[in-house]
Chain A
Amino acid sequence: MPLTAENISLHISGFNLLRDVSMHVEAGTVTAIVGPNGAGKSSLLKVLTGEITATIGKVSLNHRHLAAWALEDRAKMLAVLPQHTALSFPFTANEVVALGRIPHQTGKQKDELIVADALKAVDASYLQKRFYTQMSGGEKQRVQLARVLAQIWQPTELGDQFLVLDEPTSAFDLSHQKLTLEIVRGLAEQGTGVVMVLHDLNLAARCADNLVVFDSGAIAAQGSPEEVLTEKLISQVFGVKSIIAKHPVTQKPLVIT
């Protein structure tokens, strides 16, 4: 069962932020959204997660209108990691990740296990008792990632689960970028649908089943990375000359600029 957006348009104070955008995220697949700054990627994520209501069009989760789900049920199926989270209170990493268990009633012991597992998954077990306010940018981002992972750690009988990530790797070093992509692929194999905004085209090409290229509020192209990433499209959308090669190991498209 999918997370879908149909014919979304979004007008805010005279600006057309999104124009007739349609998108379909199947459970068990990874969708990457790329595009220049200000193309409307974040706006689309906000519409897709119910934070903003579209002016025209509708969003549905598991074949039901997004707004029709009870908030708590929705939270069991849809976890969202925003680009920035300003948390100015000295929670420990354990406590931050435990916030991801709020929609569930699984009991303290089970939650503690899930919190520990989620922190381990993002290579942050050593942060457990450290204060969030004293962590580096990359550490904070990993703890937040663990929080949304903990939110959808177990399947729910309500429907398929989805994870929405807004630039999850922006503060990460190479090894943690790679780790994030592995986590995302692993989730997809277990049946979770993942949508993420990425800036790095090569990262996107490497892990996405479906690549959506955004340009000034509309979708310029969508499909498999092989179909979508062409020299013509990149110069059209990003205004940059490039060469598309093949990754020697993964055989995925490799954008060289």
Chain B
Amino acid sequence: MRRFSAPFVIAVLALSLPLVVMFAMGTGTVNIAIADIWRAVLNLLFADSPSNQINTILFDIRLPRILLALCLGAILAISGAVMQGLFRNPLADPYLIGVSGGASVGASIVIVMAGSWIQGTAALGLSAVAAGAFTGGFIATILVYRLATSELGTSVTTMLLAGIAIGAIAGALNSLLSYFADNDMLRQISLWQMGNLSTANWPRVAMVALVAVLLVGLFPRDSRALNALLLGESEARHLGIDVQRVKRRLIILTALGIGTSVAVAGMVGFVGLVVPHAIRLLIGPDHRWLLPGSALAGAILLILADSLARVVVTPTELPTGIITALLGAPFFVVLLIQRRREV
């Protein structure tokens, strides 16, 4: 497989992102031409345009949702890339190994425990749910890491089995909570199992954007450490990396990323698996390029998947997680087949 120059691929992705955002702005139950979008943007910026229907669709409905998809896609893809480096295993996906499951349990517990209080205070409630998701994701990551890694690397089998085990616990707990939940809670909980961006609003965008900026800013500082970690923990230590500290930092940050994304949009799977894989095929596994490349490509992919979810069964829409799973699961199967051939 020939590789492309990493700066070139990243430049192409960076230039595509605004185009994809424009495209998504125009796509939906009501299609809006690019020229009309520009006119609306200029009006909003320079003139006091009366709030008309197009403005409402563009800036109150579509834009927050697109920005949410952008930030979530970046978070999921970069967290997936980091997790694969940390586990020294290209198949480690936060969704498959149970981290998202753990996060969803944490979120569900908070929703049921603090039910009415959350509905009263939206922003605070969401933060509480995110904190629950973060804790659940954090515990799940540490559990899987302890179970699956040994001196010889990470066992794919153990890792996936640990994912199944955590998934089963998460499923049971979620069912239990659903059983006792009232109607409104039930709707919220079932949202997570599907992965849905339709609840986008500006406070949510702000929260996710904050986390996205944090991760995209902090992860690349450990790029070289991640490269060294691919050789193994003791090899990285012999290269002067403080492995324990790097590991702790990366686990906390990935749990924060996955926890936030689960709290806001639920279980959007496979973005963290598919995107880093594709980028690695294009430019190689060097994390100095892989991390920014994955963040950009993840943003693009999730905006497109979400646009698809919005139009595929117009006038209603599908949960976005269904689209990513339908795209990602066959990809995962292909990866498994390839691996079998290699061994």
Q: Do A and B come from one complex?
A: yes
Contact surface of A with B, Cβ cutoff 8 Å: 49-51, 71-76, 78-80, 82, 84-92, 95-96, 99-100, 102-103, 151
The reply to whether A95 and B88 form a contact with Cβ atoms under 8 Å apart is no
Closest residue on chain B to residue A49 by CB atoms: B238
Contact of B240 among A86, A87, A89, A103 (CB under 8 A): A103
One of B165-173, B184-192, B223-231 contacting the partner: B223-231
The 3 closest A-B pairs by CB, nearest first: A75-B240, A72-B240, A103-B240
Contacts of A90 in B (CB 8 A): 1, 280, 284-285
Q: A249–B180 Cα gap in the complex (Å)?
A: 86
| Complex CA–CA separation, A85 to B89 (angstroms) | 14
Which chain A positions have C-beta within 8 A of B227? 99, 102
State how many angstroms separate the Cβ of B185 from the closest Cβ of chain A. Answer: 43
Q: For A50, A91, A99, A151, which residue has the most chain B Cβ atoms within 10 angstroms? A: A99
In the complex, how many angstroms separate the beta carbon of A248 from the nearest chain B beta carbon? Answer: 40
- In the assembled complex, the CB of B158 is this many whole angstroms from the nearest CB of chain A, namely 15
**Contact assessment for A71 and B234 in the assembled complex, using a CB-CB cutoff below 8 Å:** no
With a cutoff of 8 Å between Cβ atoms, the chain B residues found around residue A100 in the complex are 239
Q: How far, in whole Å, are A99 and B85 apart by their CA atoms in the complex?
A: 15
Is B285 in contact with A151, judged by CB distance below 8 angstroms? no
- Which residues on B are within 8 Å of A, measured CB to CB? 1, 88-90, 152-153, 224, 227-228, 230-232, 234-235, 237-242, 280, 284-286
Most buried by A among B240, B280, B286: B240
Given contacts A71-B241, A86-B88, A89-B285, contact A102 B224 (CB under 8 A): yes
When the two chains form their complex, are residues B239 and A89 in contact, meaning their CB atoms are under 8 A apart? no
**Of the candidates B90, B152, B237, which one forms a contact with A89 in the assembled complex, judged by CB atoms under 8 Å apart?**
B90
Residue pair B234, A51 in contact (C-beta under 8 Å):
yes
The distance in angstroms between the C-alpha atoms of A242 and B284, with both chains bound, is 52
Residue of B nearest to A73 (CB): B240
Q: For chains A and B in complex, what number of residue pairs have CB atoms within 8 angstroms?
A: 70
Chosen A-B contacts, 5 in total, with CB atoms closer than 8 Å, are: A89-B230, A91-B285, A92-B284, A95-B285, A102-B240
Q: Are B240 and A95 in contact, CB atoms less than 8 angstroms apart?
A: no
Contacting pair B90 A99 (CB below 8 A): no
Task: Contact check, B153 vs A86: say whether CB atoms are below 8 A apart.
Answer: yes
The contact of B241 among A79, A85, A102, by CB within 8 Å, is A102
In the complex, chain A residues whose CB is within 8 Å of the CB of B280:
89-90
Chain A residues with Cβ under 8 A from B241's Cβ?
A: 71, 102
CB–CB A95/B286 < 8 A: yes
**Is the beta-carbon distance between A82 and B284 smaller than 8 angstroms?**
no
Task: Tell me, rounded to whole Å, the shortest Cβ–Cβ distance linking A74 to chain B.
Answer: 7
Minimal beta-carbon separation of B155 from chain A (angstroms): 11
- Cβ A71 vs Cβ B240 within 8 A: yes
Docked-complex contact B286 and A74, CB < 8 angstroms? no
Provide the residues of chain B in CB contact with A102, threshold 8 Å.
224, 227-228, 239-241
Let me know if A85 and B239 touch, CB within 8 A: no
